[in-house]
Structures are given as C-alpha cells and as structure tokens.
A and B are shown apart, each in its own frame.
Chain A
Amino acid sequence: MAALRRDFGRSVTAHSVLGFFTLLALAPIALIVMNAFKTRSAIFGAPLAPPTPDTFDLVGFTTVLGEGHFASYFANSLIVTIVALAGTILFGAMAAFALSEYRFRFNTLAGLFLTLGLMVPIRLGTVGILELMVRTGLVNTLTALILVYIAQSLPTAVFILTEFMRGVSADLKNAGRVDGLSEYAIFGWLVLPLLRPAMVSVAMLTMIPIWNDLWFPLILAPGEETKTLTLGAQAFIGQYVTDWNSVLAALSLAIVPVLALYLVFSRGLIRGITAGAVK
C-alpha cells in the first residue's frame, strides 16, 4: 500500500515536471502559428488568445506568398536537401561497406580519415571552400551547397552505417558469393535492403542541419535564384520586420513543413540518435 502511494506520488511529480517543460517547448511555437492567423490589432491586443471569427485574418500569408518568392525558396531547399541526402546515404553506405566488409592495407587509415570530420567543423574551412567554388564557377549554384552538405554529412553517415553493417550476417553475403553474385550485387541486392532502418536514421540525423543551415547559403549561394528557405525567411523577415502579420506568417510557413516531416519520422530519428549514442 505504501509502495503504491509512493508510486502515485512519484508519477504525479514526474508528469508535472515533464508537462511543464513540454509546455515550455511547445508554447512559443503555438504562439507564433496562432497569431499568424489574426488581425494586427488582435496580435497586439490579445496575443495569448486563439483566433476567433472576429479576429481571423490571412493578410500576413497573402503578403508573404505575394511578395516573397517562397515557392522558389522552398523548391531550392527541397532539391538541396534531397540530393544531398541521397548522395550522403549512397556514398556513405558504399564507403561503410568497404570499411566493414574487406580487410585491406589502408582500412584503418581511411576509417580514421573519414571520422576526423566528426570533430572538425566544416565551417572552419569556409575561406578555402569559397575559394574553391569561385575557381570552379559554382558560386550561386545549388551544386555548391549539395557538395558541401554531402561532405559535411559523410563522417556521421559512415560512422553510423559502419556500425550497422557489422551486424549484417556474413553467411548471407557468403551465400551470395557462392551463387556467383558480384561484390556490387551483394552490396546492392543483399546488404542495402537490410539497412533501410539505419538509412532512415542517418537521413533524419543529417537532414536537420542541412535544412536549417544559414551559414553556407549566406556565403555560397546568396543570389535570389538560389536562396534556400532558411536564408529566404531570414532576408524576408529582415525586410518586413515591422509588418508583424507577414513576419508571423513567414515564420509559420517555415515551421509547418519541418513539423509535419518530424511527426512522420520522429521514431526513426529518435532511434538514430539513441543508436549512435549507445555505441
């Protein structure tokens, strides 16, 4: 009986603490999205009230969609993120396969070389990267961003995928070899399909910093044609800073796709973070 009461007391404490921090995490987001749908006077008059039929107003969204080039920013972000992720996962999986499957002379060295990037932030090489992009004429192209993001994400991808590759049964691969499959076929047909959960984890883990990055778009591709959503939102808000309807609408438009994606993939993401940590 005493134990039961203690359990009850503990669970009330746990729920109130966790509930408080959950509220703290979500309330600012809710506040922004909620006020984006209100008239200017309601935004300032009653910021904490949800929109009512009286105070409902979409003027912010009209301005954002009319004045900003958000559709093009969004497309740019989508292209950069998807291509960079595809490259990271394919090249990362290939490298991880080579490192975990074969013994060769420079195996450890190549592995160490690639993991070095986990500790050294790529931003410190920005001066050299910009020089490289200027020399190759890639400034203000999405290709520049894609290449940088692949390089930035590869160490993480190789690190996590190598751990998972070690868990793939050797019997399966040897059975493939006995059946005369080439090494490429073993990688593509036998190993890759088994790695799908690991690839989802890597994708989610490397996607956040790519989608949200401001540094490289600002430096390598600040042109109107190549602006990503993050940079576009930054520039738009800077310009419309006194037009609160538009600022709130722009912020909401930037929040919603990320949240939608997160709610779909959060399990894979959380598994990815925890899997990398236990190792």
Chain B
Amino acid sequence: MRRPVRWHIGVFLAPALAIYTVVMVLPLLETLRLAFFRNVDGQAAYVGIANFARLLGEAVWSDAFWNALRNNTEFFLIHLLVMVPLAIALAALLSWPRLRGSAFYRTALFMPTMLSFVIVGFCWKLILSPLWGIAPTLLKAVHLGFLFHPWLGREESALFTLGLVSVWQWLGVPMLLSYAALIAIPGELLEAAEIDGIVGVSQFFRIRLPLLWPTVGVIAILTFVANFNSFDLIYTAQGALAGPNFSTDILGTLLYRTFFGAQLQLGDPHMGATIATMMLLIILAVVCTWLVLVQRRLVRHEF
C-alpha cells in the first residue's frame, strides 16, 4: 500500500528552504560564477581563471591581497592567543561552585558583546585618542605615562590595538561557552580527584582542562570563521582605507574597497567576487582540515 503524499512536510519546509536558497545559496553561487567573468565593453565575458591569476600575479593586486591575508591571520592569532586563554581562565574562576555573585560577573562580562561595532570602534577611538587624554592620564597615574603612544595612528601598533579592542568586545562568547562546558563536568569526577589529592590549579590542568579541549576546538574554529569575515570594527575605527597606510587592512575591508571602490579606486564586482571566492576557499579549507585532522581527535566525553 502506498502512503499518501504528506504535503504538510513540504509546507513546513518550504518557507525556510525558499528564503535560504534564494537569498543566501544562489547569490553565493552567483558570486562564485562572477569570479570567472570580466566586464568587456559592458558585456560580461568568460575569462576562466584570469581574475585569480591577476589577484595573485599582478603586483597591484597581489600586494594588497597578501597584506590583507597576513593582517587577517595576525588579527586571528591575537584572538586565539589572548582571548581564548583569558576566556578559559575567567570561565574556570566563574565555575568554582562556592563563588558568590557568579551571575553578576557573567552578565557584566558579556555586556560589551551586545554593543555594535560602531559603538565599540568609536568608544575606543575616543578613549585612546591623545586629544581626550584618558589613556595617558590613566597611565600617568600608575607612573607608566611614557608607554603612551597614539596606538591607533601608528602603522606598527594599529592592528594589534584593534585586535585587543575586538578581544574586549567578544571575550564574553568564548567565556560562556567554556563556562557551560566546565559546569557540565560531573561533581563525582572532581570529588574523586580531590580524594586523590588533586585540587586547585593542578586539578584544573589535569582534570578540567583536558575535558574542555573539544569546546576549545569549537571556539577556535568559530573565532576563525568570524575573524576571516570581519569588517565592521576596522571600517568604523579606521575607515574603508584601513589606515594608516593599509596596516589594518583585512580581507573584509579589501573586499569592500574592491567591490565598491574607495577614493580613486573604481568598484569592480568581478574582482570583488574573486576576492570573496578566495575568502570562501580559505575558510572552507581551514575548517575542513581542522575538522578532519584536529577536532576528531579531541575526545568528547559523554557523562
């Protein structure tokens, strides 16, 4: 006996699939397609991989591309090496069962994440500005006044400073993810460790941290994807030209400038699509490598 057609399944799925396909998947594929075309006399002409050859081969393009890729990698490493350890440390403190006021700290530490990049970018621009003088005043108060420089205005420090601002903004997310994983560790396990004399810091490194690695893996990959498609903070703090002298240019700002143009540069959708395709390839390559080589080996314990 044949089952009757279950129309309701289609009805339930249709709106989500339709919007997702039309607004996200097809434009993504269209972007990939455009990367293989070029505008010749007002007509789109198929040029094979010529756009990619141009991006990686012509000095004007390749210098900008490698510079953005290098900066983007540095931006990601700042998050990985500063934000992730800090988030785990704070989560470890928060998950201590006898800590009072844990909910208050969680709420407060997560607050910067709620703010838009525009607010974050401008707030820190004002605070770090030599004109207002908050940062130098505070440094002088602890006799470190000589450390102050207009960090955002200097080529050698602007990217690092923005990386730390971004860490300030996003710290709450990895902190909460680590916190959730830490409180999921059953009490008996920690009690058993205590009976064996493993307590305090050594308990953290020998028992809790090893159980946390799979979560840290997820955090690392989420951070990577977010960093390799960020744009807003650099744009609000330094503008589309990602100054000074492109020292804060990342792939997102390069894509924006290429696609829309900025100052003397004309917008070019085909080269924009080429850069977007490269970003997609980089993200997919790293995510797949990570999933196959690393994440699989991080043993997940079910309690």
Contact = CB atoms under 8 A, between A and B. Distances in A.
A62 interface: no
B13 interface: yes
A122 B86 CA distance: 29
A251 B123 contact: yes
Interface in A44-94: 44, 47-48, 87, 90-92, 94
A83 to B, nearest CB: 13
B173 interface: yes
Interface in B98-141: 98-101, 105-119, 122-124, 126-127, 132-134, 137
A277 B19 contact: no
A220 to B, nearest CB: 11
A153 B184 CA distance: 27
Contact of A29 (B115, B232, B287): B115
A233 interface: yes
Q: Which of A91, A147, A275 has the most chain B CB atoms closer than 10 A to its own CB?
A: A91
A169 interface: no
Which of under 10, 10 to 19, 20 to 34, or 35 or more describes the interface residues of A?
A: 35 or more
A273 B181 CA distance: 11
B200 A25 contact: no
B229 A214 contact: no
A119 B23 contact: no
Interface residues of B: mostly helix, strand, loop or mixed?
A: helix
Interface of A: 6-7, 10-11, 14-15, 17-18, 21-22, 24-26, 28-29, 31-32, 43-44, 47-48, 87, 90-92, 94-95, 97-99, 102, 104, 110, 113-114, 117, 119-129, 131-132, 147-148, 150-152, 154-155, 158, 182-184, 187, 208, 211-215, 219, 230, 233-234, 237, 244, 247-248, 251, 254-255, 258-259, 262-263, 266, 269-270, 273-275, 277-278
Interface of B: 6, 8-9, 11-13, 15-17, 19-20, 22-31, 34, 86, 89-90, 93-94, 96, 98-101, 105-119, 122-124, 126-127, 132-134, 137, 168, 171-173, 176-177, 179-181, 184, 200, 215, 218, 225, 229, 231-232, 235-236, 252, 255-256, 259-260, 269, 272-273, 276-277, 279-280, 283-284, 287
